[in-house]
Amino acid sequence: MPHQHDHAFQAFNGRRREGLVCASRRNFLKASLAGIAGLTVPNLLQSNAQASAAGQTPCTNKSVILLWMAGGPSHIDMWDMKPDRPLENRGPFSPIATGVPGVQICEYLPKQAALLDKFTIIRSMDATHSNHEPNMVMQTANADAEPRLSRVGHMYPAIGSIVAKHHGPNHPGMPAYAAFMRSRSHLAFAGYLGRQYDPFMAQQASALPIYDLVGNNTGRVSNPTLFQMPTGVDFERIHERRSLVRSFDTLRSELDTSGSMAAMDRYGQQAVEMIAGRRAQAAFDISREPQAMRDRYGSHLWCQQALLARRLVEAGVSFVTIDLSYHTASGTWDTHGDNIPPYGGIWNGLRPLLPLFDHLVTTLVGDLDQRGMLDDVLVIAMGEFGRTPQTGTQESTDGRNHWPVVMSLCLAGGGFRHGQVIGATEADGGQIKERRVTPSDLAATIYHHMDVPLNTHYLDPSGRPRGIVEGGSVIQELT
């Protein structure tokens, strides 16, 4: 998918020819700088250095993989089943026992059920104010981050962007925050932090199968262009540092003074080295993975992205989001009903997704565990809200509508204590019964894992300080 949103280097017009010159060093530099804007490395390297100077330890192996189930997965049909309720409430699926005594989950999640001692299920997540398109509240942990209701709702920074700024990448040759994005409306961006902390669009650097809007494999594979050099330019030429730095010095005089093009100093050189360097290219090249491991994950798009996510955190990326959606609108997990293609209801819409998700999440967690990485990598699977307690919404047979009241999610890894369920809902799954958990609590837990101080704040354009965690605290059951 091409890079479609604005970035700090847009004014360079990297793809525009100048006069009669078809190819020049200057145009190459412009194009390279435009690419660097997507990588967001100069500012991340600078913040990493500043953190080191302040006595912090930004370079660790800790990271987060967020499996974003765009559209809102049904908690009642997955992780918080109500088997004793009437059919129109409990839905068409049956529960099965898990590896944690007394805990049941959906019959279509048998692998996760067997491995549940590695997971924590939170059944009492408060999804108040959360919406989708854009999916902001849960990804920013801020209840005001609702662009449909607030003109500045899109300005609240993503948790991944906060991590990018205050933790940075775990290796200077990698981006801090990367995302496999199906639609821009499915992802939170840096907002007030500045575009330099937007996610790096990972699909631009990876050859991946192309699926249509309803989940059919087209048989085609994407052609990533990020690491392709213009004709006549090779990596050896890029590494002629002195002439490159002199060219940067010339271009620096053209930069604006708004601050959006900051960090064009020695960190700019390191950013170019990331583009030209072998570490990032190797991490994004799934063909370097042994065939047995590729077979273990499987050929499905989402599973290949999960394998790449593991490769990325292994190489030094701190935060990876995978947009688990085929559709570019509200999201594949938006199971309103059978008469609303392409989403389907619970039986025809959700049921085909569950075995795929079951395989993906357990393969990823199992792989991290076997590699000794699970304590360092926190895996989170969630969407933006739950689904209504009653089926048959919008004149469908078994669809469920949005339910921004309560939702379930699962976590694994991160060195936390797992094999448990946190919280509970009322008998019909419609309201929180006990142990309310907020998005801010989840964010605090992520920041705690990533060694980002919970009292960290940023300034909005008016100079008002805004805390990264407002009213939240680390989920103590996990520690």
Ordered DSSP codes for 408-435: EEEEEETT---SEEE-EE-TTSSSEEE-
> Domain residues for 145?
61-224+279-478
**Residue-level pLDDT at 34:** 41
What is the Cα–Cα distance from 160 to 153, expressed in whole angstroms?
A: 17
Q: List the helix and strand counts (H, then E) for the chain.
A: 14, 18
Residue 18 lies in a domain: no
Which pLDDT value is given to residue 151?
A: 77
- For residues 163 and 450, the answer to whether their CB atoms sit within 8 Å is yes
User: How far is CA 358 from its chain centroid?
Assistant: 18
DSSP H or E stretch at residue 406 = strand 406-413
Cβ distance 365 to 379 under 8 Å?
A: yes
pLDDT score for 75: 98
CATH number of 321's domain:
3.40.720
The helix (run of H) or strand (run of E) holding residue 105 is: strand 104-106
Q: Is residue 75 part of a domain?
A: yes
Domain annotation covers residue 238: no
* Closest to 274 (Cα-Cα) out of 10, 59, 7, 45: 45
Residue 432 domain flag: yes
Nearest of 244, 305, 324, 320 to residue 69 by alpha carbon: 324
In whole angstroms, give the CA distance from residue 31 to residue 59. 29
Domain assignment of residue 25, yes or no: no
| Separation of alpha carbons 215 and 67, rounded Å | 17
Q: Is the peptide bond before 342 cis (omega within 30 degrees of 0)?
A: yes
Residues in Cβ contact with 37 at an 8 Å cutoff, skipping those fewer than 6 apart: 7, 8, 9, 10, 195, 196
Residue 319's nearest CA partner among 173, 177, 138 is: 177
| 37 domain residue, yes or no | no
pLDDT 10s per residue in the chain (479 long)?
444 444 433 333 444 443 334 444 444 444 444 443 344 445 545 555 554 444 444 557 999 999 999 999 999 999 999 999 999 999 999 999 999 999 999 999 999 999 999 999 999 999 998 988 888 899 999 888 887 777 787 889 999 999 999 999 999 889 999 999 999 999 999 999 999 899 999 998 999 999 999 999 999 999 987 776 655 555 555 555 445 555 555 555 444 443 344 434 444 555 565 666 688 889 999 999 999 999 999 999 999 999 999 999 999 999 999 999 999 999 999 999 987 777 789 999 999 999 999 999 999 999 999 999 999 999 999 999 999 999 998 888 899 999 999 999 999 999 999 999 999 999 999 999 999 999 999 999 999 999 999 999 998 888 899 999 989 999 999 99
Cα-Cα-Cα-Cα torsion 361, 363, 364, 368, nearest 10 degrees, comes to 140
pLDDT at 57: 46
State both tokens at 32.
């390279």
pLDDT number for residue 60: 74
Q: Does some domain include residue 35?
A: no
Distance of CA 297 to the CA centre of its chain: 19
Tell me, yes or no, whether 345 lies in a domain. yes
Residue 79: the pLDDT is: 98
Residue 277: what pLDDT? 66
The pLDDT assigned to 262 comes to: 43
Q: How many CA atoms lie within 13 A of 144 on its CB side?
A: 10
Domain count, the chain: 1
According to the model, what pLDDT value does residue 149 have?
A: 78
pTM, rounded to two decimals: 0.83
Q: How many CB atoms lie within 10 A of CB 463?
A: 6
pLDDT of residue 59: 53
Contact residues for 476 (Cβ-Cβ < 8 A; gap 6+): none
In angstroms, the CA 417 to CA 136 distance is: 28
